[in-house]
Structure 1
């Protein structure tokens, strides 16, 4: 949740009248080494986006993946020009995506603001699980 605050993913607001509030859930995963020993526990907070309805909560749905043919052309061109190719992964890149619609999510059950339990979060940026 610290990343959400740091990246300004959401802000706590009064629940707007007539707007659907999407619930959140936690996904838990154990990272293991080659001996299957748990070396790290990971958690991800995701929206239950399956509750969204097209035309009401979102207009279009996109997947941030590259077309395979484009990747082949890129690799062929780089090989032809003798360019080095580097790969990287930005772990929170999805959280930087801007939203086109107003989306409201409930406070996570385990992290409800004790001073404002009736408030919800208005998302400023994309959240895992949204359409």
Structure 2
């Protein structure tokens, strides 16, 4: 949070009249190893999807995370056809992108 604040990633503004922002909540999980001991702690910030309204904000849902299965399928295809693979930093592309619609 400090890094994003110092890089001026966002500007806090009041929502337009008549607009109710989608809320969020934190989800915390403990990942257990084979021996039953806690190996890692995970924390995620998720949107409260039940606050969305039909015909207004149901249409567009994005997930910037690629499934491992998809990557494992694409790697042999790129090798077979001698394609090039480019990597991009989705997090920074998302944070530094210009948004034209109201969120």
TM-score class normalised by the smaller sequence: 0.5 to 0.7
Q: Which has the higher helix share?
A: 2
Q: Name the TM-score, length of structure 2 as normaliser.
A: 0.54
Q: Which has the higher strand share?
A: 1
1:38/1:63 Cα in 2 relative to 1: closer, same or farther (>3 Å)?
closer
1:48/1:79 Cα in 2 relative to 1: closer, same or farther (>3 Å)?
same
Q: Which runs of 5+ in 2 are unaligned?
A: none
Superposition RMSD on alpha carbons, in Å? 4.2
Pairwise mapping of residues 47-58 of structure 1 onto structure 2 (< 5 A)? 47-57=47-57
- Is residue 91 of structure 2 the alignment partner of residue 93 of structure 1? yes
- Is residue 25 of structure 2 the alignment partner of residue 20 of structure 1? no
Instruction: Give 1:77 shift.
Output: 4.5
Equivalent residue pairs, number: 95
| 1:28-68 CA distance string (max 9 Å, x none) | 111333322113322111111232235423643455558x8
Q: Which runs of 5+ in 1 are unaligned?
A: 104-131
Instruction: Give 1:14 shift.
Output: 2.4
Question: Which stretch has the larger CA shift, 33-42 or 52-61?
Answer: 52-61
